[in-house]
Amino acid sequence: MKKQAFNPYLPSWEYVPDGEPYVFDGRVYVYGSHDRFNGYVYCMNDYVCWSAPVEDLSDWRYEGVIYQKIDDPFNPDGSMCLYAPDVTKGPDGRYYLFYVLDKKSCVSVAVCDSPAGKYTFYGYVHYEDGTLLGERKGDEPQFDPGVITEGEVTYLYTGFCPAGDKSRSGPMVTVLGPDMLTIRKAPAFIAPSQPYSQGSGYEGHEFFEAPSIRKVGDMYYFIYSSVVFHELCYATSPYPDKGFQFGGVIISNNDLHIASYKPAEKPMYYGGNNHGSMVEIQGKWYIFYHRQTNGTSFSRQAMAEEIEILPDGKIPQVEMTSCGLNGGPLLGKGEYPAYIACNLFCDTESTYTGGIAGNGFWLDSRFPRITQDGRDGDTELGYIMNMTDSSTCGFKYFDCQGVRAVSLQVRGYCKGVFEVKTKWDGQVLAEFPVDYTNVWKEYTADVAIPDGIQSLYFTFRGFGGAALKSFCLL
């Protein structure tokens, strides 16, 4: 690779959640919704696309705006948001973008001759008599389309099933003909919602939203966000439209259920909803997902981790890391931005980040958060702010060889010390005294980081709230 790959893998000022990754003609393309920095609801911006060559997952290219909110005939004033989309290559070789507007229960489709050109509105998924999917009597609401095309047939997966809602039966699959719009086979449910899951094997991880589909060999993998909210789960079947059996959790965006480096049910990041899918790149499989930033649910960023599909088809849950698509640990030398923290927490535990309260959104001032200066679209480097007493940021993993000092870039109205550790609850290896400053100031301390693959944790102890821009291994 030209350079190292980090998480998030896109620039720190870009907010593309709900990622659906695909390989087309030697490049990885990621399609998702588009959040706004300091947004007050989900998905406020138009769709954009990013891509990278399969041989260099550090080299992401901005493909520009591929579809605007006002391109849909139901949304001429842009008052509705574009929710999570998916893309498939149709039988005619063109690329089809499936999506749902936030206030409409029907599936819209746009089309383009290339993976990341400007998509144009194409039509709405409908029955043979012209009735839109979602509007026929007995139809359940359409949401979060996921698609896969095989020959002349496209399978469309949709659904949104909050826990306890008996009016929602589960995720559904609808079979479309070669025109990509006309229904050949009406919706059929492939997994249970929470009220109807007893004895199904899905108990505790029932479908909530974010249906996605991939095929691995002869097996179909149905990836979805469960009622647990912060996790992506999977189910498998030899058929695209029936027989899906629960498989497990692939990723949690606060690392719950992971016991490899901390207690299994201890949250290590301020999580929230999750949405993503799998892709094979150069013989390796990856899960793409997102994290929450800025202390709210509405500024989410694209993340990815390498996964392993075992011979029996199982996928072990993987940790959130800072090195994501890098193919291994980061070099234990040089400067790293603080926004690549994969762990962020304080002594007051919270599974979730801020959210909606009343008519607006709220920030929990107790917790540190990843943010940026400027406005949405400004290319300002991200950093961590509001690191009050006990706030900890963690970075995984580094191949450390001969590290004898560490420097930090800090600002803020704070007075105390930053501790350096190689485990979240490990021995303090060094302390950096820091003081009040309204500009970024560098602090350096001698510290002997043990050689080998290491995590790095920085904990603030003191008064006020510190901001951390970067650290450098020397």
* Other CB atoms within 10 A of residue 363 CB: 15
Q: Is the pLDDT of residue 453 over 80?
A: yes
Each residue of 204-242: pLDDT tens digit?
A: 999 999 999 999 999 999 999 999 999 999 999 999 999
Each residue of 31-45: pLDDT tens digit?
A: 999 999 999 999 999
Each residue of 276-334: pLDDT tens digit?
A: 999 999 999 999 999 999 999 999 999 999 999 999 999 999 999 999 999 999 999 99
Which residues, other chains included, contact 180 with Cβ-Cβ below 8 Å and sequence gap of 6+?
90, 96, 109, 111, 122, 154
Provide the mean pLDDT of the chain: 96
pLDDT value at position 356? 52
Rounded distance between C-alpha atoms, residue 98 and residue 302, angstroms: 20
Would you name the residues annotated as active-site residues?
18, 209
Cα of first residue to Cα of last residue in the chain, in angstroms, is 23
Q: Is the pLDDT of residue 446 over 90?
A: yes
Torsion sign (Cα): 151, 152, 153, 154: positive
Q: Is the pLDDT of residue 354 over 90?
A: no
Rounded distance between C-alpha atoms, residue 334 and residue 355, angstroms: 36
More confident residue, 408 or 354: 408
DSSP 8-state class, residue 381: P
Q: Is the pLDDT of residue 53 over 80?
A: yes
Q: Is the pLDDT of residue 360 over 90?
A: no
Q: Is the pLDDT of residue 415 over 80?
A: yes
Q: Kindly tell me the burial class for residue 129, based on how many C-beta atoms sit within 10 Å of its own C-beta (0-12, 13-18, 19 or more).
A: exposed
Q: What is the DSSP string of 256-283?
A: TT--SSS-TT---S-B-----EEEEETT
Rounded distance between C-alpha atoms, residue 329 and residue 397, angstroms: 5
CA 19 to chain centre: 6
**CB-CB contact of 337 with 469 (8 Å):** yes
pLDDT value at position 122? 98
**CB-CB contact of 110 with 97 (8 Å):** yes
Q: How sure is the predictor about 366, in pLDDT bands with cuts at 50, 70 and 90?
A: confident
pLDDT value at position 355? 56
pLDDT value at position 2? 82
Say what the pTM is: 0.97
pLDDT value at position 7? 98
Domains and CATH numbers, the chain: 20-328 (2.115.10.20), 334-473 (2.60.120.260)
Q: Choose among 292, 276, 266, 264: nearest CA to 353.
A: 292
**If you average pLDDT over residues 47-72, what whole number do you get?**
98
Q: Is the pLDDT of residue 407 over 60?
A: yes
pLDDT value at position 344? 98
